[in-house]
Copies of this chain bind each other. A is one copy, B any other.
Amino acid sequence: MDKQPELCRVEDALNILVGKWKPIILLVLLQEGTKRFSDLKRRVPGITQKMLTNQLRELEEEDIITRKVYPQVPPKVEYSITEYGKTLEPILIAMHEWGTAHTIHKMKKAQQQSHQPS
């Protein structure tokens, strides 16, 4: 009856980390602290306003970041990691390390193949 739902909890972490832009947004906020919208946009080259807004809203919805609006003109909005969001840091770092090692792994594999053609 019960289809091993416990195996699928990984998805919950994944859904927060994925989206082409979330990891880098989170790493920037973790490593560099609170940032305003336009600073984030500059810090994440290539992202469109729509996607940045979109990803920030999703992260806010999950309590990973907070959004603070200053009632000024021109507008000022600051985004920060929450304490809860900081609990993701070990995963982010583990993934970052694995990702780096994996990039090297792939380079080595590609080299071997160029030395030993089929």
Contact A3 B99 (CB under 8 A): no
Contact B7 A28 (CB under 8 A): yes
A27 within 8 A of B: yes
Closest chain B residue to A98 by CB distance? Answer: B13
A: contact size bracket: 35 or more
Contact A87 B91 (CB under 8 A): no
Contact B23 A14 (CB under 8 A): yes
Q: How far, in angstroms, from A92 to B100 measured CA to CA in the complex?
A: 17
Cβ–Cβ < 8 Å partners of A23 in chain B: 7-8, 10-11, 14
Q: How far, in angstroms, from A94 to B98 measured CA to CA in the complex?
A: 13
Binds B, one of A49-57, A67-75, A102-110: A102-110
Contact A102 B12 (CB under 8 A): yes
Could you write out 9 A-B pairs with CB less than 8 Å apart?
A7-B28, A7-B96, A9-B100, A10-B17, A11-B23, A12-B98, A13-B95, A17-B95, A88-B98
